[in-house]
Amino acid sequence: MLDTNLARSLEGLFMQYALVSILFIFGGFPYTAQASEMSDTAVEAMISIDDLGIPDPFKRPVAEVDPLTKIKVDRVLIGPVYAAKRGADFDYFRYVTFYNVTTRKERIYQLPVHREECFDKSDLFANYSWSYTFSAKVSAGVQVGPVGLSTELTQTRTLTTSRNIRATGKVVADHTPYLYKSSWSGFTYLQTYTAKTRAETLVTQQDNKTKWWVQFLFPTLSMPKKYPMEFDVQDAEWTFVVERKILSKCPDDN
């Protein structure tokens, strides 16, 4: 014999499913998906406007200012445009990321320091040749493609670089190889477009009014855990440089 509480739970669950069935049978599904409820999984069910052959509806430039904090950022990353799912209160959407760039300098100890002396005078005094393998680590609330990044960014890449060093015969100087590694950090917002009003809206707040049956039937409308969504790319850009540090000047008659 079923426990009374369990029986009541099963009865309640049955009534919930019955309610959902009634909503579909009589009068349709009375719910409009809000812009702030679109999560990363929603993108997987959407179709890019490039696949539909539709021109980009977003016309206004996006300023390098975080729409929530109103603080200027270094860069803005804009993702591809998607057609909204039926039932949404907008027609098209895309992800817009506002982020800052931080750069750190690392000495390449596998390569030597070349010292330029007063008696060295040549357009090809020394040469650096170096191969290295690197990859970026992405941590974001949206997948790499929809956020506007290439999938190659997270793949391991091997690059070979070389640099010729020139000596002038006028100074004593050290030539030292370095890597400058840049990382990106910021937040990703949803931007929507409504064809009827031609409104372009950067959504700054999420909606917490989603009913349980909406998420059950349309899991793609579940809200992200945190909005705006965090965006972080470690070692996104690598730059090889050789810095020249002058130690002293040579005699004028050199």
Most confident of 73-77, 142-146, 149-153, 197-201: 73-77
- Whether 108 and 178 have beta carbons less than 8 Å apart is answered as yes
Q: pLDDT digit string (tens) for 185-230?
A: 999 998 888 889 999 988 886 555 544 433 443 343 445 457 788 8
Residues 25 and 114 occupy one common structural domain: no
Residues 161 and 185 occupy one common structural domain: yes
Structural domain span for residue 24: 1-30
Q: pLDDT digit string (tens) for 7-58?
A: 444 344 334 433 333 333 333 333 333 444 444 444 445 676 666 677 889 9
Q: Specify the higher pLDDT residue, 5 or 250.
A: 250
Residue 87 domain-assigned (yes or no): yes
CA angle 111, 235, 41 (to 5 degrees): 155
Q: pLDDT digit string (tens) for 64-116?
A: 999 999 999 999 999 999 887 776 778 888 899 999 999 999 999 999 999 99
Residue 103 domain-assigned (yes or no): yes
Whether 141 shows a pLDDT value over 50: the answer reads yes
Residue 62 pLDDT? 94
Report residue 32: phi and psi, to 5°: -110, 120
Residue 75 pLDDT? 96
* Structural domain count of the chain: 2
Residue 22 domain-assigned (yes or no): yes
Residue 128 pLDDT? 92
Residue 254 domain-assigned (yes or no): no
Residue 227 pLDDT? 76
Residues 160 and 56 occupy one common structural domain: yes
d(CA 97, CA 83): 19
Residue 50 pLDDT? 66
Residue 225 pLDDT? 57
Sign of the CA dihedral with 212 first, then 217, 219, and 220 last: negative
Residues 14 and 46 occupy one common structural domain: no
Residue 157 domain-assigned (yes or no): yes
Sign of the CA dihedral with 219 first, then 221, 223, and 228 last: positive
Residues 24 and 95 occupy one common structural domain: no
Residues 65 and 85 occupy one common structural domain: yes
Residues 160 and 208 occupy one common structural domain: yes
Residue 25 pLDDT? 32
d(CA 45, CA 40): 10
Whole-prediction pTM value? 0.70
